[in-house]
Structure 1
Amino acid sequence: MTYWSPPNPTGLGTSAFRALLAAEPLAAPITAQSASPSRATDPFPGLHCPEPVRIDEPLGEQVNNRVLGWAEALGFPPSVMTMLRVADFGRFAMLAHPDSDDVDRLFATASWTAALTVMDDYYCDDEALGAEPALLGSRLTLALAAIDRGQLVGGYQAQLDAAIAADPILAALQSSVEELSRFGTPAQLGRAILENDHFFIGTTGEMSWRVTGEMPPVWRYLAARQVNSFLPCITTTDLVTGYQLPAELYFEPRLRRATKLLGLTTVIVNDLYSMAKESAQDSPDGGLPLVVSAERGCSLAEAAAISVDIHNEVMAAFDDECRELTKIGSVELHFFLAGIRNWAAGSREWHRSSVRFRDADHRTE
């Protein structure tokens, strides 16, 4: 297995990152279609978020076809196949990882994102799809055994393996980790699994509010949402590009702060773009605008504007941390910072253009 450690950061988006650090205007997206309908109709144009540096629709389609073939082989029913086709996680991977055009690596992270999203829909978010609050803890425990293989003995191991293989959601989680392992070191995989453990804790915490009917204060919601974030997927940035950020740098306190801030921006983006669908449901599944509206006694539109301001404040704090972190003389670190910023840009583009957040027949995160 070969890992690429580039002598100079020259990938897509790196020039924009350098401009950011120099407090200059960001470079224009390299191949993005700046007049695309998703941008013209963006309900949150005031979000301080970078634009994607690559939009390569044929590449995204190629990766998504791999995702659909993989999901079909796992035995997902037509309803899940329709959701995956509409969600287009291949396009998500293409947008979020502009430094890679390796279909195999992009598929690996796309399958990981897809598996976690299906699990979140069916276990956590939507009771119409079978989510049952009372079962969430036990289901997530088994999901962890699929992701970070449970180690039993003899017949017990065989029973566990059989249960995972028989459930397409669990099988997808296990398979996606196997795909990541084709390209990642044990440290990179361990990092993704750790962030996923935090994600599972966050989902159970948010479920407790839904069960009790409690509306948390904004500060507590943000703390929980930071745990229940996209970090399990964001952290695959170096794996997809083909280099490795050293473990001692990933857990360096300043980078840890930057990474967690960036993760929080991405879930606020999710809350904003899913707001219209969530507020139209009989039992809305949380979301920062709803929490802000309850705390401040304001309209949902006013709460959305406040949520945009919160996002921008967090993104500005991330940018400030990046400026400090570039004083560390590590090319891999500089590449990683540019990479996770590109991830946020691609995620925002996917959210504002995806049918998943407009069509009531498809569920949001």
Structure 2
Amino acid sequence: MPDPGPSPLQSSLPAAVASFGAHVLAGALAVGVEPAVGAGSVEPPPPPAPDLPPVPALPTGPPVLTPVPVSVPDEDTAAAAAAQPSAALERILRGPSGLGTASLHWGRSDAPAPAGAPDAPAPTAGNPIPGLYYHPVPEPDPVRVEELSRRIKAWALDEVSLYPEDWEDQFDGFSVGRYMVACHPDAPSIEHLMLATRLMVAENAVDDCYCEDHGGSPIGLGGRLLLAHTALDPLHTTKEYAPHWEESLLSDAPRRAYRSAMEYFLQAATPSQADRFRHDMARLHMGYLAEGAWAQTEYVPEVWEYLAMRQFNNFRPCPTITDSVGGYELPADLHAQPAMQRVIALAGNATTIVNDLYSYTKELASPGMHLNLPVVIAEREGRSEQDAYLKAVEVHNDLMREFEAAAAELALACPVPSVQRFLRGVAVWVDGNHYWHQTNTYRYSLPDFW
């Protein structure tokens, strides 16, 4: 099947970023991502063709561990592209469009959008949580979703033997293809989307098989996670013992998945992008260990302690690679800036509380006590289940607004094209993550609290 091309661009940064919307759009246009034309709109003239090397072809067979650097457009090229008017740019300048966002844009009209307007989102499956602050996104490109779903299932079955036959319905029900297309609409190709999709599936295999439903246990978790982490961050040891480590990488499904997914990622990522990802995966594993330790001792943390754990046991490794999946690089010194680290941390925190809220009834139905934010609030603040859940919604909304404010402040302070595009990519990932949770009715249903 030919590659269907990138999905339509979208935006959720608040209106404070509007004056730099041109820089954001330019970053996308300069690497060949054309904005979609909505119903009733006129297609904009194409931007000047930037003089850039082609996006490197990625492998379809066994990976070869050779990193391929990817280019990022310079500011002059981006500025030239920014001068072109477009429907996508108009959407950026109008700001967010989800529940509760009217106060964030001083120029918004209260009148409803006309039927068929380019920004009017199509109905989606599932129901959003009432009162939750989020931004609707366009339906993911169905052609890309179908092809990505086919390829990731072939990888899981044929390359890494990830799951037995009786888990197939759960794998299909996860809808990872739809998830990743929604979160990375600017990916230049299906192979770029596969970078994120393999890693996402591998991370979930580790969580399920080491920590959760499919044989997971807090007992001995640290040893299992450490050895799995060496599939991402390789062991450097003596010739005598290296073969034993290499054999161990094939010893169980999670390690096979980590090893293969990371090898593919290394071919497209720069060394700094790969090391950034390893660092964030170490953060994730540390969060797993904290939650596992609390489960062993049956300790219910204070709310602030739980939120601290969730800053590590969260989705952060996913949006942190948004530039790798987009085919460009946010330079290491810019990624390491405290302001950028705050944006990424807040994005991870907000999206992880989304998971707590949508998976609430699923976890209540599982054996044992599952820590999530509503459960911890109910226990520690003496609230009813309903009040605790609604308080958790407020915590999420506060985190979302903190994220958007931090992203807006950084965008205003640093109008560099790669920074602008990365901030937008993280915001789009946040929106796509909510979309997937809302629409995945196979996995999630809402409590009857309204």
TM over 0.5: yes
Alpha-carbon distance, 1:183 to partner: 1.3
Structure 1 residue 354 and structure 2 residue 429: aligned? Answer: no
Structure 1 residue 112 and structure 2 residue 199: aligned? Answer: yes
In the TM superposition, 1:202-351 aligns within 5 A as: 202-326=287-411, 327-351=413-437
Output the TM-score relative to the length of structure 1: 0.90
Distance in 2 (alpha carbons) for counterparts of 1:89 and 1:151: 33
Distance in 2 (alpha carbons) for counterparts of 1:134 and 1:166: 19
- Tell me the alpha carbon deviations over residues 136-194 of structure 1, each in whole angstroms, 9 at most, x when there is no partner: 01100111111111122224111111111232210110111112112110111111110
Aligned to 1:50: 135
Alpha-carbon distance, 1:101 to partner: 4.8
Structure 1 residue 5 and structure 2 residue 80: aligned? Answer: no
Distance in 1 (alpha carbons) for counterparts of 2:286 and 2:88: 33
The change in CA–CA distance for 1:174 and 1:112 in structure 2 (over 3 A counts) is: same
Structure 1 residue 36 and structure 2 residue 124: aligned? Answer: yes
The change in CA–CA distance for 1:187 and 1:53 in structure 2 (over 3 A counts) is: farther
Equivalent position amino acid for 2:95 in 1: L
Distance in 2 (alpha carbons) for counterparts of 1:2 and 1:314: 34
Q: Is the 8 A contact 1:3 1:243 kept in 2?
A: yes
Distance in 2 (alpha carbons) for counterparts of 1:336 and 1:46: 28
The change in CA–CA distance for 1:14 and 1:344 in structure 2 (over 3 A counts) is: farther
Equivalent position amino acid for 2:339 in 1: R
Distance in 1 (alpha carbons) for counterparts of 2:246 and 2:91: 46
Number of residue equivalences: 353
- Tell me the alpha carbon deviations over residues 54-81 of structure 1, each in whole angstroms, 9 at most, x when there is no partner: 5212211211111110010212322444
Question: Which of 95, 99, 107 does residue 20 from structure 1 map onto?
Answer: 95
Instruction: Give the match's secondary structure for 2:369.
Output: coil
The change in CA–CA distance for 1:238 and 1:181 in structure 2 (over 3 A counts) is: same
Q: Is the 8 A contact 1:33 1:55 kept in 2?
A: no
Percent same amino acid at aligned positions? 29
Q: Is the 8 A contact 1:100 1:241 kept in 2?
A: yes
Q: Max radius of gyration: which structure?
A: 2
Structure 1 residue 99 and structure 2 residue 186: aligned? Answer: yes
Q: Flag structure 1 segments of 5+ consecutive residues without an equivalent.
A: 360-365
Equivalent position amino acid for 2:289 in 1: T
Output the TM-score relative to the length of structure 2: 0.74
Structure 1 residue 149 and structure 2 residue 234: aligned? Answer: yes
Equivalent position amino acid for 1:301 in 2: Q
Distance in 1 (alpha carbons) for counterparts of 2:93 and 2:309: 32
Distance in 2 (alpha carbons) for counterparts of 1:266 and 1:148: 26
Larger deviation: 187-196 or 50-59? 50-59
Structure 1 residue 183 and structure 2 residue 268: aligned? Answer: yes
Q: Is the 8 A contact 1:30 1:53 kept in 2?
A: no
The change in CA–CA distance for 1:137 and 1:85 in structure 2 (over 3 A counts) is: same
Distance in 2 (alpha carbons) for counterparts of 1:200 and 1:18: 39
Q: Is the 8 A contact 1:87 1:355 kept in 2?
A: no
Instruction: Give the match's secondary structure for 2:187.
Output: coil
Equivalent position amino acid for 2:217 in 1: E
Alpha-carbon distance, 1:19 to partner: 3.8
Question: Which of 70, 89, 92 does residue 176 from structure 2 map onto?
Answer: 89
Larger deviation: 57-66 or 336-345? 57-66
More helix by share: 1
Distance in 1 (alpha carbons) for counterparts of 2:279 and 2:444: 32
Q: Is the 8 A contact 1:112 1:176 kept in 2?
A: yes
Distance in 1 (alpha carbons) for counterparts of 2:344 and 2:264: 24
Alpha-carbon distance, 1:322 to partner: 1.5
Alpha-carbon distance, 1:37 to partner: 2.6
Instruction: Give the match's secondary structure for 1:93.
Output: helix
Aligned to 2:208: 121
The change in CA–CA distance for 1:25 and 1:166 in structure 2 (over 3 A counts) is: farther
Q: Is the 8 A contact 1:100 1:240 kept in 2?
A: yes
Larger deviation: 205-214 or 158-167? 158-167
Equivalent position amino acid for 2:420 in 1: H
- Tell me the alpha carbon deviations over residues 300-335 of structure 1, each in whole angstroms, 9 at most, x when there is no partner: 222111111111111111111122111212111111
Q: Flag structure 2 segments of 5+ consecutive residues without an equivalent.
A: 1-67, 97-103, 446-450
The change in CA–CA distance for 1:136 and 1:333 in structure 2 (over 3 A counts) is: same
Equivalent position amino acid for 1:189 in 2: A
Q: Which runs of 4+ in 1 moved over 3 A?
A: 8-26, 28-33, 79-82
Alpha-carbon distance, 1:106 to partner: 0.3
